[in-house]
Structure 1
């Protein structure tokens, strides 16, 4: 841990509360497309679902996505996801290249 990386010093209950707030924020902001999150930050709601599984969530991929999206993924997709443009895909691909290994 370097002097700037203190994330592991945060109490687990505090970290869990912040994570839940992030997830609820993303559930509320359905206008924010996953492809745009990927283009800006290199992760999206589906990544969060994968990360909770990596952390020990016992459900399968569909269950993890339902937890993060607040509904089954296919339902969320039908209600809120638009077709990605070539520009969005290009931004996502460039952004993901910047991710640290394993993220």
Structure 2
């Protein structure tokens, strides 16, 4: 059985590795993540914010996004986010529809 502190350290390292992986693959758009995995970088920021608040840490959504994106979201969006294609939008809508029918 693993010690709680070790488990927490491993989980933190995995999150850092995931964020690094996403940072190294900026070509993967948030809409692609939403279509394929039903979460995106913004979801991670919301989860980050919720966990911080649960622990009494004062933070806003912009600060949480910066923790996830590694820069202010507006800067990341300007440099790396592309407009969603009609195909991406259709796939996203189909995903949302399928979820609603579950």
Distance 2:18 2:95 in 1: 20
1:41–1:95 contact (8 Å) kept in structure 2 = no
Q: Which residue of 2 aligns with 1:45?
A: 41
The equivalences for 1:22-41 within 5 A come to 22-41=18-37
State the TM-score, normalizing by the size of structure 2: 0.79
The list of structure 1 runs, each at least 4 consecutive aligned residues, that deviate by more than 6 angstroms after superposition, is none
Q: Which residue of 2 aligns with 1:20?
A: 16
- Do structure 1's residue 91 and structure 2's residue 91 form an aligned pair? yes
Give the length in aligned residue pairs: 91
Bigger relative contact order, structure 1 or 2 (CA pairs below 8 A, ≥6 apart): 1
State the TM-score, normalizing by the size of structure 1: 0.78
More helix as a share of residues = 2
RMSD after superposition: 2.2
Unaligned runs of 5+ residues in structure 1 are: 1-9
Distance 2:8 2:69 in 1: 22
**Larger-Rg structure:** 2
Distance 1:94 1:64 in 2: 29
